Chain A
Amino acid sequence: MTPLKGQCLILGDDIDTDLIIPGRYLVSIDRAELAPHALEPLGPEIQERLRVSPIIVAGTNFGCGSAREQATTCLLGAGVKAVVAASFSRVFYRNSINTGLLAITSPEAAEAATDGSVLEVDSATGTVTVDGVAFSFVPYPPELMKIVEAGGLIPYVAAQLREESNA
């Protein structure tokens, strides 16, 4: 994947799925429809910042709570490409891989970043750079990287099914 560069929005610890996308909006699975409600409980200022930040930086246990897949797709709809966090909840981490959002575990980078810092993420080499300072992270294993590169699980499986039917 090509490296990603952009400014970040800083969020804290334990950002739960109800803060990311409240349950009342789960009647949609359309990324564009979900996007205006991403992080709504955190207020309009945060939402304003979200719209111009392709990268979110957060503390521990990001995405804790529900299995709702819209927690990752609402962020993708809002233009977010990667979340760099000290740690992730399990289901959010899975959903990220399966919907094509980069979830990068790097407590050091999360600590170093401040609001508006410019980050560069290279998922192939496992490097995240914060205002010019590089930190390494463990890249996805190859079998999961293939899913992310395909844009998520559904496009990945769809391509596999096409290959099988052509074989």
Chain B
Amino acid sequence: MSQTFAQKALARASGVADPQPGQIVDAFPDVYMSHTASWRCIQTLKQLGTDKLYDRDRIAMVMDHLSPAYTAKTAADQRMCREFAERMGIKNFFDVDSGIAHIVLMERGIIRPGQLIIGTDSHSTIYGALGAFGTGVGFSEITAAWVTGKLWMRVPESLRIQLDGEFPAGTYAKDLMLYLIGKVGADGATYESVEFHGDLVGSLSVSERMTLANLGMEMGCKNAFIPPDQKTRDYLYAAGLSDDDIEEIQPDDDAVYRHRVDLDVSTLEPQIAAPHTVENVVGIGAVAGTKVDQVFVGSCANAKLDDLLIVADLLKGRRVAPGVRLIVTPASRMIMAHAGHEGALTTLLEAGAMLTNPGCGACAGNGGAMADGEVTLSTANRNFRGRMGSYDASIYLSSPATAAASAITGVITDPREIVR
């Protein structure tokens, strides 16, 4: 009865002792996350003819996309959420000043190892960075879970990704994930639970693990998992949790995986996802020199403290190239404050960057739109056509270091060429 992480996590959440891949179980999630979609859930709740909630303490709402509001409609939607949270006594309500839902919930101790978290956002896979089972669902499912406490889940097959070696200079977790997505394809892990193992994973910070679990979604996975360890526990302590709050789940050593990918990162180079799919990945040499109109450092993939510090470090004493718009959107208010203490925000401003309030920002199309024919290099996780303004604009994806190097030169640039 050896089990993968997904089997164990869904056994815990469903009460089914040994759920097998393909089996459908009724699972009871620990957290129901809804972001900007929260108003859609509230509207949909009316169709259920009840406002009796299964467990209001499992509801978490974060006003992260479209924040602050730029239309009266959005402002009214956000007010609806604010008033609903007040009326129903939902304590985990985070308003437009907080930042991106995933990051906010993790840094405030709401996400714990082994938990099942459903969210109205595909990148809910990111909770795997803390050893939790996070997965994206539609807003109707969140609404139904508010009332019934459960939803149907198909037990996934698992993919084991074994990562070893050390990152060469100028390469990061983002380059690794783009490389893997290019290798296995945008549907290479469809409906699967992706487990990241190996010496490299243990050496990564929790923030870097978030980038892994976040980008797992772009291989089509249902959830991602990184084995919790002392680094995870230290992160959780900093988020206000104690050992009593933490029940880790580890897969069995002899668990059965549908397939396995082995990679040594020692020869990895900076990677770029070219328009208009995330699997359209090339080594940086193939697109170096491409002119950029805008550089965006943001999103739940790469706007965390370490990402901002990497960008600030490269920009220190340098200037953003004339004609290039560099937009920096910290992932959360806490991260922004921390970056301020480190002096990184001043460095960014002095270099010519535009700083915006924390949140999803340009990744969700809120500001940072492009005109026909323009090009953005972005640290986000999607480069789909039309995602940032014109349907005739192009988005390239990269690490924060590559983004910073390219902002300095005005063309896609290998960060290893910008030596400090």
Residues of A within 8 A of B (CB): 14, 16-19, 22-24, 26-27, 29, 40-41, 60-61, 64-69, 72, 87-91, 93-95, 98-99, 141, 143-144, 147, 152-155, 157-158, 160-162
Contact = CB atoms under 8 A, between A and B. Distances in A.
18 contacts: A14-B279, A16-B277, A16-B385, A18-B384, A18-B385, A24-B365, A60-B187, A61-B190, A64-B186, A66-B121, A67-B138, A89-B187, A90-B190, A93-B191, A94-B141, A99-B140, A152-B140, A157-B144
A16 B218 CA distance: 11
Given A89-B220, A154-B47, A14 B140 contact: no
Contact of B48 (A18, A61, A72, A158): A158
Given A90-B220, A94-B138, A154-B143, A67 B385 contact: no
A149 to B, nearest CB: 15
Interface string B173-190: 000000000000011001
Interface string B321-335: 000000000000000
Q: Which 4 A-B pairs have the closest CB atoms?
A: A69-B138, A67-B136, A18-B384, A61-B187
Contact of B24 (A60, A98, A141, A162): A141
B80 to A, nearest CB: 13
B92 interface: no
Contacts of B277: 14, 16
A89 B136 CA distance: 12
A29 B40 contact: yes
B152 A143 contact: yes
Interface residues of B, number: 47
Interface of B: 24, 36-37, 40, 43-44, 47-50, 71, 73-74, 77, 119-122, 124, 136-141, 143-144, 147-148, 152, 186-187, 190-191, 220-222, 277, 279, 364-365, 382, 384-387, 391
A87 B189 CA distance: 12
Contacts, number: 121
Given A14-B277, A98-B138, A144-B24, A19 B384 contact: yes
A162 B187 CA distance: 40
A64 B190 CA distance: 10
A153 B122 contact: no
A144 B311 CA distance: 47
Given A61-B187, A87-B190, A158 B24 contact: no
A94 to B, nearest CB: 6
A90 B220 CA distance: 7
A23 B120 contact: no
A61 B384 contact: no
Given A24-B365, A158-B47, A158-B48, A65 B122 contact: yes
Given A18-B384, A18-B385, A61-B220, A157 B365 contact: no
Given A66-B382, A162-B49, 5 more contacts: A22-B365, A89-B190, A94-B141, A95-B138, A157-B48
Most A CB contacts (10 A, CB to CB) among B124, B222, B387 go to B387
A90 B138 CA distance: 11
Given A144-B152, A154-B143, A90 B191 contact: yes
Contacts of A61: 186-187, 190, 220
B155 to A, nearest CB: 12
B193 to A, nearest CB: 11
A157 B408 CA distance: 54
Contacts of B74: 27
Contact of A18 (B71, B138, B386): B386
B190 A69 contact: no
B187 A154 contact: no
Given A14-B277, A61-B187, A19 B47 contact: no
A93 B187 CA distance: 13
A69 B119 CA distance: 12
Given A24-B365, A157-B148, A91 B136 contact: yes
B385 A29 contact: no
Nearest to A18: B384
Nearest to B190: A90
Most A CB contacts (10 A, CB to CB) among B37, B71, B74 go to B37
B122 A161 contact: no
Contacts of B37: 68-69
A19 B187 contact: no
B125 to A, nearest CB: 10
B139 to A, nearest CB: 5
A63 B63 CA distance: 25
Nearest to A147: B152
B49 to A, nearest CB: 6
A64 B47 contact: no
Contacts of A65: 122, 382, 384
Contacts of A18: 382, 384-387
A98 B220 contact: no
